[in-house]
Structure 1
Amino acid sequence: MATKTFSTVAQRRIQSELNEWLRSPPEGCLLESCEPMTSWVVLMQGPEGHGRLYADEVFRVKIEFSEQYPLDPPEVIFLSPAPIHPHIYSNGHICLDILYSGQNGGWSPALTMSKVVLSLRSMLASATEKRKPPGDAEYCARVGNRSPKLSKWVFEDDKV
C-alpha cells in the first residue's frame, strides 16, 4: 500500500481540527483514536430523548482524511456493526450528501469533522424506523470494502 503524502494545508487543517475537538468535543462523541493523525475513530452515542431509536446504542465511525483535505472530503464510514438505518448500508457506507464532492455532493471545505459527526447524529435522530436501505445486500456485494467515495450516490430523500 502506497504511503499517502499529505499537503501542508491538509496537515495543518487536520491538526487544527484535532486540537479543537480535544478542547471541545461534539455532543455525544468521543475520539477513540487518532493514530496516525490522518485516521480517526470516533465513538458516537445514539441520540437520546423520547422516541429516539438509537438512544441506548454506541457506534464507531472511521474517518480517513484524504491527502487534499479539506478540498477533498474524508472517507467516513460506520464500523461494524453499522446502525440499521435507511441511509446506512450494512458495510458502513453512508448515503449523506455532505460526505461527497462532485456533481451531487454537498461537501464544503468549511465543514469540520465536528460538524460531520453532529450531522450523522442528527440523521440518526430523525429516523422514524430501523430498516436497511433498499438494495442493501446487492450494494454491499457489489462494492465490498472499496471506498464509498467511488460509488455514484443519488441524494433524493431528505426526510430521514
Structure 2
Amino acid sequence: MHPYQKRLAKEYQSISKANLPGVELISADELRSFLFKIHIDNHALYPDDYYLQVTITDQYPVDSPSVMFINYTSSPIPLHPHIYSNGHICLNLLGEDWTPACSIESILLSIQSMLHSNTLSERPPDDAQYTKSAPKDPKRTNFVYHDDNV
C-alpha cells in the first residue's frame, strides 16, 4: 500500500467528480497508474484524442509523478514545442516547480492549458537527439527549457 493512499483516494474521487472538460479518466490501476484521455475542443492543432499516463512514485506527493503522453489505441503524441515525439513533456510543474500542494488534477489542468494556448506546430528543437537516448521514464531526464513562452 502506498504511504499516501488516503490522499490518492481523495484525488481519485476529486478527479472522478470534477468532470473536467476534455478530460476523461480511462483507468486507475490501484491508484498507482492513471490513464487519461485528453481532448482539446475547437483547436486546429489538436483534432484527436490524446492519452496521458500518470504513474505515482513511491515518494508522491513529495515527488511529482511520472507523466507522459502515450500511443494508445493508435492515438498520436500531440505536436507541441514542449512535447517530445516519445511522449515526454518538458514542463516545470513536473520537475522543479512541483510541491506537495500540487495534485494530479493540477497536472491535467496545466497540460490542458499548455496545449490549448499553443499555436506552433512543432516539436522541441532537440527532439531527434533527445529521443535517441532518452530514458524510458521521463523523471530520469534533466530537461533543457528552450522557451518559457509556449
Same-fold status (TM-score > 0.5)? yes
**Displacement after TM superposition at 1:42 (Å):** 0.2
Corresponding letter in the other structure for 2:84: Y
Corresponding letter in the other structure for 1:72: D
Q: How far, CA to CA, are the matches of 2:32 and 2:19 in structure 1?
A: 17
Q: Which residue of the partner structure matches residue 152 of structure 1?
A: 142
Q: How far, CA to CA, are the matches of 1:136 and 1:6 in structure 2?
A: 34
Q: How far, CA to CA, are the matches of 1:125 and 1:148 in structure 2?
A: 22
Q: How far, CA to CA, are the matches of 1:38 and 1:62 in structure 2?
A: 11
Q: Which residue of the partner structure matches residue 112 of structure 2?
A: 121
Residues 52 and 125, structure 1, Cα contact 8 Å, conserved in 2:
no
Q: Which residue of the partner structure matches residue 36 of structure 2?
A: 42
Q: Following superposition, which runs of at least 4 residues in structure 1 exceed 3 angstroms of deviation? A: none
Q: Which residue of the partner structure matches residue 13 of structure 1?
A: 7
**2:69 paired with 1:78:** yes
Q: Deviations over 1:74-94 (max 9, x none)?
A: 000000221111100011000
What's the TM-score once normalised by structure 2's chain length?
0.90
**2:100 paired with 1:109:** yes
Q: Deviations over 1:83-115 (max 9, x none)?
A: 111100011000000011xxxx11111111111
> How many pairs were matched up?
146
Give ranges in structure 1 of 5+ residues lacking alignment: none
Give ranges in structure 2 of 5+ residues lacking alignment: none
Q: Which residue of the partner structure matches residue 28 of structure 1?
A: 22
What's the TM-score once normalised by structure 1's chain length?
0.85
Residues 53 and 125, structure 1, Cα contact 8 Å, conserved in 2:
no
**Displacement after TM superposition at 1:155 (Å):** 3.0
Identity of aligned residues (%): 36
